[in-house]
């Protein structure tokens, strides 16, 4: 089994447990093209429950690949033309000039290229536990949002009462994670963006409770059985849910886990 965690200032932190069972059926998410966020130019076709597959062209227009210090790969999501959200551990203590963001392409390190002008790491980030593992990257030059391949993810509206109770997102919710991480532990990077569907796990579940540091800012997600999951290089990538308003909303970012499938 795989666990991945993350944190959020404007979003709850995320803990992901990614493990896949047998293939299921494809589900097409047709979003509302009239909304300002959470809708890409093409509908996302995702294997429900299973995940672990290449993403379709222009289905996740907010997904970005981030090249750090000439050696590291992380993911992120577009909040606006000038702001990217990612995991704090990806960019903590890194000079902005060493951070390159690539948007509008399913191929890593291609598409619109921008250099960071500033990096804001969550003020309560704890590197040892990955609590509040969230950072914002400001781009030196704004992205061209008029491009059909680029869009922005929606930010959730959740009450402080719900967040303090650790009841969001609710257990059993289907969420999708995307990234350019390795397909197996220590393996090579895929050439194109990958997507995987999992479900959020109750914080009291034994697999989750043993690794969850703070349920108010982290959560677990996954499916038992073995298979594909998030892996090295997926850190910072968006974890999303599809709402009743037919929009994709960010619920967290991939942070850390236990091995890979």
Would you state the structure tokens that stand for residue 107, as one six-digit string?
Answer: 């191929």
Write down how long the chain is: 261
**Catalytic residue numbers?**
89, 133, 235
The CA–CA distances, whole Å, from 138 to 23, 49, 58, 98, 101 equal 39, 34, 23, 13, 10
Q: What is the C-alpha separation between 138 and 142, in angstroms, rounded?
A: 9
Which residues have CB under 8 Å from 35's CB, separation 6+?
154, 245, 246, 247
Q: How far is CA 149 from CA 43, 80, 100, 104, 110, in A?
A: 12, 14, 18, 5, 12
Count the Cβ atoms, other than its own, within 10 Å of residue 23: 14
Question: What letter would DSSP give residue 22?
Answer: S
- Compute the C-alpha angle 238/134/63, nearest 5°: 25
Number of helical (H) and strand (E) elements in the chain, helices listed first: 3, 16
Beta bridge partners of 258: none
Which residue's structure tokens are 């227009």?
Answer: 61
Q: Which residues contact 174 (CB under 8 A, 6 or more apart)?
A: 48, 49, 197, 198, 199, 241, 242
Q: Could you tell me the two tokens for 2?
A: 């795989």
């Amino acid at each position: 089994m795989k666990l991945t965690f993350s944190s959020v200032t404007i979003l709850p932190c995320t803990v992901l447990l990614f493990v896949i069972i047998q293939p299921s059926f494809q589900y097409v998410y047709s979003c509302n093209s009239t909304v300002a966020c959470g809708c890409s130019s093409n509908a996302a076709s995702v294997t429900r429950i299973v995940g672990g597959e290449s993403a379709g062209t222009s289905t996740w227009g907010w997904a970005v690949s981030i090249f750090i210090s000439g050696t590291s790969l992380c993911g992120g999501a577009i909040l606006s033309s000038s702001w990217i959200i990612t995991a704090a551990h990806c960019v903590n203590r890194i000079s902005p000039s060493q951070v390159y963001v690539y948007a509008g392409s399913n191929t890593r390190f291609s598409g619109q290229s921008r250099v960071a002008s500033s990096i804001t790491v969550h003020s309560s980030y704890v590197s040892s536990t990955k609590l509040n593992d969230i950072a914002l990257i400001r781009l030196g030059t704004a992205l061209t949002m008029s491009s059909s391949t680029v869009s922005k993810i929606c930010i959730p509206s959740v009450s402080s009462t719900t967040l303090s109770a650790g009841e969001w997102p609710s257990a059993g919710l289907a969420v999708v994670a995307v990234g350019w991480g390795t397909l197996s532990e220590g393996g090579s990077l895929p050439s194109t963006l990958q997507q995987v569907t999992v479900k959020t796990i109750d914080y009291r579940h034994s697999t989750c409770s043993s690794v969850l540091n703070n349920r108010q800012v982290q959560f677990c997600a996954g499916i038992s059985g073995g298979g594909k999951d998030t892996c090295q290089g997926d850190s910072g990538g968006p974890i999303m849910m599809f709402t009743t308003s037919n929009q994709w909303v960010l619920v967290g970012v991939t942070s850390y886990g236990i091995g890979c499938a």
